Amino acid sequence: MSPTVEEKPPLAADKPKVKLLVLVGAPIVAMVVGFFLWGTRLASVVTPHIYTGTVFQDSSPAPRFDGLSFSDGTPANLDQAAGKMVLVFFGYTHCPDICPTTLDTISTALTQVENSAERVEVWMISVDPERDDAQYLEQYVDHFSPSFSGLSGTQTEIDAVAAAYGVFYQIHEPDDTGEYLVDHSAQLMGIGPDGSFRIVWAPDTLADALASDINALLG
Amino acid sequence: MTKSTTQEPQENDEVNWRFGWPLKLAAAVFFLIVVCGISFAVFEPIQVLPRIRLAPGYALTTHDSEVVTSETARGAITLYSFAPTDCDRECESSYETMAEVALRVNNEVDLGSTEFRQVTIALDADPTASELRHASQRSGADDNHWQWVGGTSVQLRNVVGSGFKIFYEQDSAGETTRFDPGFVLVDGAGIIRGEYRYQTLATDADKIVHHVDILANEIRNANGATAVAYEAAHLFLCYP
């Protein structure tokens, strides 16, 4: 009997390891199963990303871009961007401040998003169709990133899309040199890869915060 | 034999002491989080109004030729109503609701530094300054916190029809306007947070004042760490 007892130590040493494995493994398995059962809602509360932008819980479809087209004449619709997130901004090429700042911020933010070219599209809709012809608009957005696109249409078409996206714009009277400014809302908006309207960012959002939100939305 | 049998529990105790308490702590934290999550969803300690969709962008004009835009309303909680400028008896209850809301929000709601505005959009296209002024006087609007504005038929279509989704139509002569009355509550970020189209047991004024209070609370409190709780309330759809 005595020799048998003497042979036990190796087994006795394994027993705590098994117990330890169970103690460590069980909560992990429970946690994974718990998250699975509760879905992403609980998971995102337990490890929340605090969005800088304002997020929409409802997954209603983003307003359409009826009548607007890309610089190459292709009609703009979200089917073309299926599976990608689309960032929408309203501006114009003669814009002195907020438009270049915003496009630059987006460009910087997208450097912090993995495979951004394959996952995110940026559409700038011109609120100055008189001066922003297709070629000029494309050159302008290309300056910030070749992957950015410029969209335009008639004044009536732009009016309808701008209103749907909560954007106000007003063209001022030209000065003596014929130059004029356009007042416009400058929020940036994000449409999810499924075509739902997901988020609005205030004009002063920083690139890091923007990148962080985009990454969180893309998962 | 005695030696070996006394060593085994000692090793177990050592392992328990080294690994047991962190595991128990982790399990307790996990349990607590789950309980908190369930409690939050069930008891809704914070209520929020849903973010329904973006309010339309617009630039409409008052009887003083002042241009009121969606950017003018940025940062303020704005209540919109809709009526033709020649609307009398049919719009009486709507005017009364607007007046009651103005009074009660002023008296009952802690708005903090947030402004509360009211805008009535005239449903007849291209109203004259005189028509807007008379409508404003008839309804009791003060032209300061409560303004009447009007626009072209295209603007009305984009803003009232497509944007606020309020039904209205004018006869071919442009004299009679049929419409569904309603109110729309918009937050300072230009997001629609409440739509009031149907009569319920609670009056429109009761509902609107209650909702302005919820919105004002969110604006006042959703800062820093508390913002997470408010986002959780949105996530769990803790709506009134």
B33 lies in the same domain as B84:
no
B30 lies in the same domain as B135:
no
Is residue B240, in this structure, part of any structural domain at all? no
Distance CA(A22)–CA(B67), nearest Å, equals: 70
Percentage of residues in chain B having pLDDT higher than 70: 87
Res. B74: pLDDT tops 80: yes
Q: What's the pLDDT score for residue B206?
A: 93
Is residue B79, in this structure, part of any structural domain at all? yes
On whether the CB atoms of residues B118 and B167 are closer than 8 A, the answer is no
B88 lies in the same domain as B173:
yes
Is residue B48, in this structure, part of any structural domain at all? no
Q: What's the pLDDT score for residue B2?
A: 47
pLDDT category at A129 given cuts 50, 70, 90 is very high
B2 lies in the same domain as B60:
no
Distance CA(B61)–CA(B69), nearest Å, equals: 8
Q: Does B113 touch chain A (CB under 8 A)?
A: no
Contact A163 B237 (CB under 8 A): no
Q: Are strands A197-201 and A54-55 parallel, antiparallel or unpaired?
A: antiparallel
Which of B40, B57, B59 shows the shortest C-beta gap to A165?
B57
Res. A8: pLDDT tops 90: no
**Residues of A with CB below 8 A from B27's CB?**
27
Res. A1: pLDDT tops 50: no
When scoring B34, B44, B226, B231 by the number of chain A Cβ atoms within 10 A, the one with the most, hence best to mutate, is: B231
B113-144 residue pLDDT tens:
999 999 999 999 999 999 999 999 999 999 88
B221 lies in the same domain as B111:
yes
B153 lies in the same domain as B184:
yes
Q: What's the pLDDT score for residue A63?
A: 94
B17 lies in the same domain as B39:
yes
**Residue B21, domain extent:** 1-43
Phi, psi of B127 (to 5 degrees): -70, 145
Which of B19, B20, B190 shows the shortest C-beta gap to A166?
B190
Between A52 and B26, the more confident residue is A52
**Mind giving me the DSSP string for A123-137?**
EEEES-TTT--HHHH
B176-232 residue pLDDT tens:
778 888 999 999 999 999 999 877 777 889 999 999 999 999 999 888 778 888 888
B14 lies in the same domain as B70:
no
Contact B52 A58 (CB under 8 A): yes
Domain count, chain B: 2
- Comparing alpha-carbon positions, the chain B residue that sits nearest to A21 is B19
How much is the mean pLDDT over chain A?
A: 87
How much is the mean pLDDT over chain B?
A: 86
Res. B233: pLDDT tops 90: no
Distance CA(B118)–CA(B145), nearest Å, equals: 6
B26 lies in the same domain as B68:
no
Res. A41: pLDDT tops 80: no
B12 lies in the same domain as B62:
no
B132 lies in the same domain as B14:
no
B75 lies in the same domain as B96:
yes
Q: Does A8 touch chain B (CB under 8 A)?
A: yes
Q: Does A185 touch chain B (CB under 8 A)?
A: yes
CATH at B161: 3.40.30.10
pLDDT category at A116 given cuts 50, 70, 90 is very high
Which of B8, B163, B232 shows the shortest C-beta gap to A164?
B163
Q: What's the pLDDT score for residue A7?
A: 52
Res. B160: pLDDT tops 90: yes
Q: What's the pLDDT score for residue A30?
A: 74
Q: Does B222 touch chain A (CB under 8 A)?
A: no
Which residues, other chains included, contact B230 with Cβ-Cβ below 8 Å and sequence gap of 6+? B46, B48, B218, B221, B222
Percentage of residues in chain A having pLDDT higher than 90: 68
Between A131 and B174, the more confident residue is A131
Is residue B147, in this structure, part of any structural domain at all? yes
The model's pTM is 0.78
On whether the CB atoms of residues B109 and B213 are closer than 8 A, the answer is yes
Res. B80: pLDDT tops 90: yes
Distance CA(B26)–CA(B111), nearest Å, equals: 42
pLDDT category at B1 given cuts 50, 70, 90 is very low
